[in-house]
């Protein structure tokens, strides 16, 4: 909510500057998101009257004016504005004045000397554009500093309120809060009861009391709908972000901002019969003030006369009964709608309003008539007229259930020594009625405080007013004991650090994604759908993370990033027969060059094996096996299932060419997605003696069927190797002359080292023979000649 500081200070004026006031509100939970000046800094501008206007001798579009700026003699000023005329009052920047980006000096314009400048709103920094001079009221005092006359030293405060603090969606509510925080006296908004001078009334009825427990209205006859809105009211509305429309509409908007109660005025002549608050009927529709016609159903609450809906309750009025310049009699309504009857309805229609924003959070149900009287008084002051009696229907208002607050409980929760006297003082400052018995308070929440329901809510109020900054930061103490065994589980941060060390950057993406991503990258035709998506392309929850990373990579590519390596740790969301599962996963994607560009290494595109090495490093010291597999996101010939201890831990593969083309991603894009819980498990570190004896190496080459995966052969060799074999690794693959076409030659390096002594030739031969025998038995491998 945006409001001018000057308006707030008419109700409460604490001895604080603007910044200190903003800090006080923020520390109390009412975050001040922005503090802006009403106008940029300028000086030397005064109210002036144009005495005469003549033509410039050498320029058709320039005028010669004589201006009374409050000095000893009139000023001669050359002006190019099309709306300049004798008798008007305008801002005048005198010689020496400093405007935004310009200093006014005496100058000759087409041969005629000019002693100042007549200003538009744009030149003063009050508007982005302007068609001519800023015309001031005819009674503006000549010679008065324009900053003082237009109150341009004011500040605009923007509050970022949490949904539970609907009581602060008004100037009166904010003033009440400032008074509680600072102890400054608060002046209540006076709602003068207007005398009943007309007999006409319109009956009101509640046909849906659960949705509209209270509805009030009155007829005001003989109003002048064309009466101008007072300048002070227009100024306050515009500084709150609302434009002036007409006097009657401006009054309803003004009371909404002042008291937080939305109001609406109907043209009484356009209504027929009694007014009813009811649910919409099938087939009904209404043309709204925003020029939209909406079809209604029983989910919508409407205000209706004998012919049908005339307003969408709590959201917007209807166009057919709107007040216009010919209106002479109005029906002014003020109502309380249950938040559940309004919440979400405006989102269904694709637009919102200031009224719905307040009603769906909760409006003071005891202030309905007060706001009606306040608006009546303002309308009659500005537009004249005679007020009729108030028609009211009331049923099933919310009950204010008393809440118990124990001082000892507040002390224990807040960790501070706060006595019953201090608690009582804070409750009085907050205007929360209570009864006290010793150290226990029974508080009855006011009608405007929908956020107080349990004891913890009152404890929060005590903390806010006492000051969070006054709660000491106590260091917790406790006994610590050594665990019988060291913990062996890694954390997600360890995974993040490891991937960052391998040149990956962490991405943080939304958990709700485009439904098409689920079909393309996860093969999921039944994703978990959102009831109220924030955008059409974010309508489902992700069951896999590859799509999110592909989109992040595509975005970075559009910024001309040529080498991209991204990872993300987050939850996925799977629908099951019994509900939902939310597994934690880690996923990564790499595209572009394998290494940063440099002179010492030739350029090479990243491939499957580069990312496979990253996955193996992620799983170290455990060794995973990789099995050929199929996955919707990956190339059918370059995809592997990652298996840990016999269980599938995820997938690794090159992005499918179809998706590379569709999402404009390079074909050398490789990704992986792993279950985080499985890879967080790690083996307990164990001491192993460092061998002091030399290493023996043997290289052997075996011929096997070309279809056999190397990983399976490596696993078999390692299983067959005795304990002093430290490494079995592949270093060459050969196909060609001397090898059958359906065969391949695999060359392995076998390293052996013992901690007890130097290995003999017999030990080396026994190890090599054992490995070769195992490969022959399992894979029909033969030693290459």
What is the number of other CB atoms lying within 10 angstroms of the CB of residue 530? 13
In this structure, how many other beta carbons lie within 10 angstroms of the beta carbon of residue 117? 23
d(CA 124, CA 749): 81
Q: Name the 3-class secondary structure at 596.
A: coil
pLDDT of residue 487: 55
pLDDT at res. 470: 87
Longest distance between any two alpha carbons in the chain, whole Å: 121
How far, in Å, CA of 329 to CA of 308, rounded? 20
Q: How confident is the model over 130-157, as a mean pLDDT? A: 92
**pLDDT at residue 688 greater than cutoff 90:** no
Question: pLDDT tens digits for 271-281?
Answer: 999 999 999 99
The span from the CA of 66 to the CA of 35, in Å, is 39
pLDDT for the residue numbered 735: 93
pLDDT over 90 at 51, yes or no: yes
Closest CA to 333 of 200, 204, 172: 204
| Res. 515: pLDDT tops 90 | yes
- Place 744 in a pLDDT band, splitting at 50, 70 and 90: very high
pLDDT > 60? residue 602? yes
pLDDT of 711 reads 86
Q: What is the DSSP letter of 645?
A: T
H-helix segments, 430-533 = 455-466, 492-501, 515-522
**What's the pLDDT band for 681 if we cut at 50, 70, 90?**
confident
Q: Which whole number is the average pLDDT over 732-737?
A: 93
Contact (CB, 8 A) for 375 and 255:
yes
Q: Give the least confident one: 128-142, 307-321, 433-447.
A: 128-142
* pLDDT over threshold 90, residue 536: no
The pLDDT score that the predictor gives to residue 485 is 59
Q: What is the DSSP string of 218-281?
A: EEEES--TTPPPPHHHHHHHHHTT-----HHHHHHHHHHHHHS--EEEEEGGG--S-EEEEEPP
Token couple for 399:
């009950």
Q: What is the pLDDT of residue 477?
A: 79
Residue located via tokens 């314009």:
109
Residue 509 · residue 588 · CB < 8 Å: no
Assign 680 a pLDDT band (cuts: 50, 70, 90). Answer: confident
Q: 315 phi and psi, to 5 degrees?
A: -120, -60
Task: Please report, for residues 499, 638, 663, the alpha-carbon distance to residue 655 in angstroms, rounded to integers and kept in the order given.
Answer: 20, 9, 11
Q: Express each pLDDT in 631-676 by its tens digit.
A: 999 999 899 999 998 899 999 999 999 999 999 999 899 999 999 9
First to last CA, the chain: 85
Residue 486 has pLDDT above 60, yes or no: no
What band does 209 get if pLDDT is binned at 50, 70 and 90? very high
Summarize pLDDT for 81-119 with one digit per residue, the tens: 989 999 999 999 999 999 988 899 988 888 888 999 999
Q: Which helix (H) or strand (E) holds 640?
A: strand 634-644
Confidence check: pLDDT of 575 > 90: no
Query: Could you give the angle at the alpha carbon of 570 between the alpha carbons of 566 and 573, nearest 5°?
Result: 125
Query: Mean pLDDT score of the chain, rounded to an integer?
Result: 92
DSSP of 285-299: EEEBTTS-EEE--TT
Residue 683 pLDDT: 60
> Rounded distance, CA 321 to CA 334, Å?
16
pLDDT tens-digit profile of 767-782? 999 999 999 999 999 9
Answer for the pair 130, 120: CB distance below 8 angstroms, yes or no: yes
Distances (CA, A) of 43 to 39, 47, 100, 255, 364: 11, 12, 9, 34, 44
The predicted model gives 556-573 an average pLDDT of: 94
DSSP 141: P
Q: Which tokens go with 493? A: 């941060």
d(CA 377, CA 193): 7
**Mean pLDDT, range 358-373, rounded to an integer:** 95
User: What domains are defined for the chain?
Assistant: 2-38+154-182 (3.30.56.10), 43-149 (2.40.50.140), 204-394 (3.50.40.10), 403-469 (3.30.56.10), 492-680 (3.30.930.10), 696-783 (3.30.70.380)
Distances from the Cα of 398 to the Cα of 366, 401, 433, 448, angstroms: 10, 9, 17, 11
pLDDT of 77 strictly over 80: yes
The backbone region for 751, taken as left when phi is positive above 0, alpha when psi lies in -120 to 50, beta otherwise, is: beta
């Amino acid at each position: 909510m945006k409001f001018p500081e000057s308006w707030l200070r008419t109700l409460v004026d604490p001895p604080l500057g603007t910044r200190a006031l903003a800090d006080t509100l923020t520390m109390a939970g009412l975050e001040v998101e922005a503090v802006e000046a009403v106008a940029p800094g300028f000086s030397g501008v005064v109210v002036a009257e144009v005495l005469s206007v003549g033509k410039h001798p050498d320029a058709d579009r320039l005028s010669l004016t004589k201006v009374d700026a409050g000095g000893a003699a009139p000023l001669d000023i050359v002006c190019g504005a099309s709306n300049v005329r004798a008798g008007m009052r305008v801002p005048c920047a005198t010689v020496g004045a400093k405007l935004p980006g310009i200093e006014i000096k005496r100058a000759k314009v087409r041969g005629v000397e000019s002693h100042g400048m007549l200003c538009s709103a744009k030149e003063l920094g009050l508007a982005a554009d302007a068609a001519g001079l800023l015309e001031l009221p005819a009674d503006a005092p000549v010679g008065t500093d324009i900053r003082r006359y237009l109150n341009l030293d004011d500040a605009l405060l923007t509050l970022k309120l949490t949904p539970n603090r609907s009581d602060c969606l008004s100037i009166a509510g904010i003033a009440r809060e400032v008074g509680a925080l600072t102890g400054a006296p608060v002046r209540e908004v006076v709602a003068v009861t207007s005398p009943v001078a007309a007999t006409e009334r319109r009956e009101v009825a509640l046909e849906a009391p659960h949705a509209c427990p209270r509805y009030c209205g009155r007829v005001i006859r003989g109003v002048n709908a064309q009466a101008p809105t007072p300048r002070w009211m227009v100024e306050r509305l515009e500084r709150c972000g609302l434009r002036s429309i007409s006097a009657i509409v401006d009054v309803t908007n003004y009371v909404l901002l002042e008291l937080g109660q939305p109001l609406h005025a109907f043209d009484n002549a356009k209504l027929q019969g009694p007014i009813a608050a009811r649910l919409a009927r099938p087939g009904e529709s209404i043309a709204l003030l925003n020029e939209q016609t909406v079809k209604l159903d029983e989910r919508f609450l409407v205000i209706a006369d004998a012919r049908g809906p005339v307003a969408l309750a709590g959201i917007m009025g209807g166009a057919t009964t709107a007040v216009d310049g010919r209106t002479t009699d109005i029906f002014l309504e003020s109502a309380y709608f249950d938040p559940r009857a309004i919440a979400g309805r405006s989102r269904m229609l694709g637009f919102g309003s200031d009224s719905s924003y307040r009603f769906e959070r909760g409006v003071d149900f005891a202030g309905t008539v007060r706001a009606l009287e306040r608006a009546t008084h303002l309308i009659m002051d500005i537009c004249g007229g005679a007020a009729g009696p108030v028609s009211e229907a009331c049923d099933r208002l919310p009950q204010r259930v008393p809440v118990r607050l124990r001082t000892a409980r507040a002390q224990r929760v807040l960790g501070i020594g706060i006595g019953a006297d201090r608690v009582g003082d804070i409750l009085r400052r907050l205007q929360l009625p209570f009864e006290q018995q010793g150290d226990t308070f029974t508080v009855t929440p006011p009608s405007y405080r929908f956020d107080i329901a349990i004891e913890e809510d009152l404890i929060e109020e005590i903390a806010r007013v006492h000051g969070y900054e006054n709660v000491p930061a106590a260091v917790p103490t406790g006994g610590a004991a050594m665990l019988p065994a060291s913990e062996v589980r890694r954390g997600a941060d360890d995974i993040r650090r490891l991937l960052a060390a391998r040149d990956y950057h962490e991405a943080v993406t939304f958990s709700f994604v485009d439904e098409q991503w689920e079909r393309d990258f996860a093969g999921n035709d039944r994703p978990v759908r959102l009831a109220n998506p924030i955008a059409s392309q974010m309508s489902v929850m992700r069951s896999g993370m590859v799509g999110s990373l592909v989109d992040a990579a595509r975005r970075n590519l559009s910024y001309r990033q040529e080498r991209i390596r991204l990872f993300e740790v987050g939850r996925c969301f799977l629908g099951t027969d019994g509900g939902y599962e939310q597994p934690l996963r880690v996923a990564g994607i790499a595209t572009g060059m394998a290494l940063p560009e440099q002179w010492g290494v030739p350029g090479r595109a990243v491939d499957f094996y580069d990312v496979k090495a990253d996955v193996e490093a992620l799983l170290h010291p455990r060794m995973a096996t990789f099995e050929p597999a199929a996955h919707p996101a990956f190339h059918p010939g370059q995809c592997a299932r990652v298996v840990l201890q016999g269980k599938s831990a995820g997938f690794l593969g090159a992005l499918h060419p179809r998706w590379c083309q569709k999402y404009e991603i390079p074909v050398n894009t490789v990704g992986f997605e792993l279950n985080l819980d499985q890879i967080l498990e790690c083996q307990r570190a164990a001491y192993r003696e460092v061998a002091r004896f030399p290493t023996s190496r043997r290289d052997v080459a075996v011929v096997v069927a070309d279809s056999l995966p190397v990983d399976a052969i490596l696993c078999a060799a390692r299983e067959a190797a005795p304990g002093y074999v430290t490494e079995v690794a592949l270093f060459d693959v050969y196909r060609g002359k001397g090898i059958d076409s359906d065969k391949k030659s695999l060359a392995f390096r076998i390293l052996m080292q013992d901690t007890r002594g130097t290995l003999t030739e017999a030990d080396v031969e026994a190890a090599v023979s054992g490995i070769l025998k195992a490969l022959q038995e399992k894979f029909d491998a033969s030693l290459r000649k």
